[in-house]
Structure 1
Amino acid sequence: MTPGARIAAAIEVLDRVLSGTRAEVALTNWGRANRFAGSGDRSAIRDHVFAALRCRRSFAALGGAETGRGLMLGALRAAGTDPATLFTGEGHAPPAPAAHEAGRAPDTLEALDCPDWLAPPLRAALGPDFAPVMVALQHRAPVFLRVNLARIDRASVIARLATEDIEARPHPLASSALEVTSGERRIQTSTAYAEGLVELQDASSQAVVEALPLTDGQRVLDYCAGGGGKTLAMAARARLRLEAHDAYPGRMRDLPVRAKRAGVQVRLTEAPRGPYDLVLTDVPCSGSGSWRRDPEGKWALTPDRLAALQAIQALVMDRAAALVAPKGVLAYATCSLLREENEARVAGFLSRQEGWLPTLQRRFTPLDGGDGFFLALLTRC
């Protein structure tokens, strides 16, 4: 496919996304309907689509319309490329830009790709980092690996990966973290991945697990395990009696296979029975810290949805707290940047529950290199 044809395909996918189809679904459906497209074409189209979704407001302003065509016109103008060089109307390229598609310079919040209603709470949470964080969220997230330090060290993994044309370097956020600088599409077919020596996991997510007070012999529960990334990261840190739970057990269906590959034992449970020495609650949240990876979430979030999430977070904390042993720890984590989901939820918990001592609160933002995350540790007195 020519560059112009790839842009035309991205326009088609974006129009489907803007009409309500999830981006992954729209991309899959396009690929099935256009089997002539090679892997390079599909990858380029995917990059166009997600770049446009991360910068939806600014590209729409620059492109003159919040449509697939408008977003791609805006993307080229943002990159300093004259759209007329690719919007030629020749072959499968989109038609040339019309006079009414000249676009305009985005205003302040448009330029930061920030929804108007989210600007005040994000400013309150981030302070002077507000604009730099929003700029960081406009760009593609790095690819990180977690080294299974129970089985191998970072230097040895870096050497193993290099033999399969995957380049990686240590990242300072966590002792297990590697940032992949080249060959990321080869990771899941690499021998290091197949042997459980590495897992794909954001560096901030790894730093959250590294901050947990884990020691050999503890009984530990991952209460909102999801796919089990943090479960496996905990298992690599200490010899634990580890259990995983999720309100939707189907999310954990791959965890037993991944645990076996990593050489660890994890028990799945639908009905946790305490007491546990540590309970991790990585609660459902807005995902505002990971909008680089899920840009659709930024535009789909509403005040009502945010309020509903806060209610869920409070409920999860209260239920999980009942499972914590005396002197045990409740770990509360989100991938959110918002105080409403972080510090406010901890304060609300402490006002409802007696006998808990806050021992740590830490916030990560994309300026640290990984996704935005929040962690609070609460010890039962």
Structure 2
Amino acid sequence: MGTGMTPAARIAAAAEIIDSISAGLPAEKALLRWSRNSRFAGSKDRAAVRDHVFEVLRRWRSTAAQGGGSDGRSRMIGLLRQQQVDPDTIFTGEGHAPAALSDAERAAGALPEGNDLLDLPDWLADRLGASLGDRLAPAAEMLRHRAPVFLRVNTRRCSLEAAQAALADEGIETRLHGLASTALEVTAGERGVGRSAAYADGLVELQDVASQAVVEALPLSPGLRVLDYCAGGGGKALAMAARTGGEIIAHDANPERMADIPARAARAGARILTADAPEGPFDLLLCDVPCSGSGAWRRSPDGKWRLDPDGLAELCRLQAEILDTAARLVAPGGILAYATCSMLAEENGDATRGFLDRMPEWTSQFERQFLPQDGGDGFYLRLLAAPGA
């Protein structure tokens, strides 16, 4: 059991971790290394330090601007200024607190502007600007803040009202969200969700509201043969099973990503069969393809700064390859649903238009871009219809 850290010690630790990230260590590895070397830190300390680090990652450029430097210490000074906390009250040099501010540090820093204010790399600001136009600034601002926690109610097990009541009994407060009919937004007690009876009994699953909205937009009905082609941990497969009441087949290029699906399906009372080499034809095939994750950078802000143009180009190549491969598994007249958690046109509209250019007998039935200002993550969905028999 850790003895606990002062707020100032937590900030000192966050600054140290940020320096490790600046030196090239991925954020999760930097946090894990610090945690392993800091046995004195309790669970609340680790959560607080993680929150500090992720806040800075979301605001990498603006915290440097307001802190007057690019090291972890300066970025934490900048973050405190953004939070309207006087850094002098934290940087005291007493105990495990960071050293007191110098006169130069007190004088340094400026209000961010341009791409510093957007907290985006220059090249990504250009690409996202071309993709979103006047929707860029509000989307970028949303990415600077922590994402809400959403739950999907398993309506085959209980109603939304019953799920809310069960969660409230355990101190977890929720409210409905208009983007998806199955969604609850957690407003208090979010850290208790994974330990709750409602979660253990399969009444609710953690799933972003836009991800739920993507599944709601799919033309699902009982009796269809359905494949989740890039299933990952199975969140969308579970949501599809809840809608159809039937079996969903799940596949992923890396089968290890699907390791949790059997337990999750059993908890939810869903029938999901994992397949290394699924055989078509399928009436509906969902491809939630590997992508930049730009719509979900509130949750994984490290990706905002690690993506580069070559990495994006490789993702686009992979997305085209997946589309062309998956299309061969779709039944005549069936639907290929293409989804990303991206806001970049190259991965979304451009990718599906490229597919339609290569496959002119296919047609587009539906297209929607979800943005963070809609309430959840940024997601894209397009329904592509195969030629009939």
TM-score range, shorter chain: over 0.9
> Per the alignment, in what secondary structure is the counterpart of residue 74 of structure 2?
helix
Alpha-carbon distance in 1 for matches of 2:84, 2:202: 43
1:260-308 residue CA offsets vs partner (Å, 9 max, x unmatched): 1100111111111100000000001111000100000000010000100
Aligned to 1:53, which of 38, 53, 57? Answer: 57
CA contact (8 A) 2:251 2:278 kept: yes
- Specify the SS of the correspondent of 2:271: coil
Moved more, 65-74 or 137-146: 65-74
Q: Distance in 2 between matches of 1:138 and 1:329?
A: 36
Q: 1:227 aligns with which of 222, 233, 236?
A: 233
Deviation of 1:348 (Å): 0.1
Which residue of structure 1 aligns with residue 43 of structure 2?
39
CA distance in 1, matches of 2:294, 2:378: 7
Alignment partner of 1:262 is 2:236: no
- Give matches, 1:159-238, under 5 Å: 159-238=165-244
What is the CA distance between 1:63 and its match in structure 2?
A: 1.0
Q: In 2, Cα distance between the equivalents of 1:72 and 1:321?
A: 49
1:44-123 to structure 2, matched below 5 A, reads: 44-101=48-105, 102-123=108-129
> Secondary structure at 1:266's aligned position in 2?
strand
Task: Provide the C-alpha distance between the structure 2 equivalents of 1:365 and 1:304, rounded to a whole number of angstroms.
Answer: 24
Whole-Å Cα distance in 1 between the matches of residues 70 and 184 of structure 2?
Answer: 37
Aligned-residue offset at 1:26: 1.9
Q: CA deviation at 1:106?
A: 2.0
CA distance in 2, matches of 1:46, 1:278: 40
How far off is 1:42 after superposition?
A: 1.4
**Are the aligned partners of 1:64 and 1:100 in contact in 2 as well (CA < 8 Å)?**
no
Instruction: Name which of structure 1's ranges 94-103 and 355-364 shifts more when overlaid on structure 2.
Output: 94-103
Unpaired runs of 5+ in structure 1? none
Mapped pair 1:337 → 2:343: yes
* Alpha-carbon contact 1:289-1:371 (below 8 Å) kept: yes
Residues 49-91 of structure 1 deviation map (CA, whole Å, 9 limit, x = unaligned) = 1000000000011112211111101101112222111101111
With 103-112 and 45-54 compared, the bigger mean Cα shift is at 103-112
Q: CA deviation at 1:24?
A: 2.0
Q: Gapped runs of 5+ residues in structure 2?
A: none
Q: CA deviation at 1:134?
A: 0.5
In the TM superposition, residue 3 of structure 1 has moved relative to its aligned partner by: 1.4
- Whole-Å separation in 1 of the counterparts to 2:111 and 2:288: 39
State the match for 2:386 in structure 1.
380
Aligned residues: 381
**Within 2, Cα distance between the matches of 1:106 and 1:203?**
31
Contact kept? 2:247, 2:270, Cα under 8 Å: no
Tell me the CA shift for residue 120 of structure 1. 2.0
Conservation of the 8 A alpha-carbon contact between 1:281 and 1:330: yes
- Please identify, of 13-22 and 366-375, the stretch whose mean Cα deviation from structure 2 is larger: 13-22
Does residue 249 of the first structure (1) align with residue 271 of the second (2)? no
CA shift for structure 1 position 28: 2.2
What is the letter of the counterpart of residue 43 of structure 1? Answer: A
**Which whole-Å CA distance do the structure 2 matches of 1:147 and 1:221 have between them?**
22
Instruction: State which of 297, 317, 325 in structure 1 corresponds to 2:323.
Output: 317
State whether residues 215 and 240 of structure 1, in contact with CA within 8 Å, keep that contact through their aligned partners in structure 2: no
In the alignment, which residue of structure 2 is the partner of 1:5? 9
> What amino acid is the match of 1:38?
G
- Residue 59 of structure 2 aligns with an amino acid whose one-letter code is C
Give, as a single letter, the amino acid of the residue that structure 2 aligns with 1:312. L
- Give the C-alpha shift of residue 32 in structure 1: 2.2
Asked if structure 1 preserves the Cα contact closer than 8 Å seen for 2:290 and 2:315, the reply is: yes
CA RMSD of aligned residues (A): 1.0
TM-score (norm 2): 0.96
* Stretches of 4+ aligned residues off by more than 3 angstroms: none
Give the stretch that moved more between structures: 79-88 or 182-191.
79-88
TM-score, length-scaled by structure 1: 0.98
Residue matched to 1:151: 157
Judge conservation of contact 1:327–1:380 (CA < 8 Å) in 2: yes
2:129 and 2:32 map into 1 onto residues whose CA distance is 36
Residue 378 (structure 1) shift? 0.6
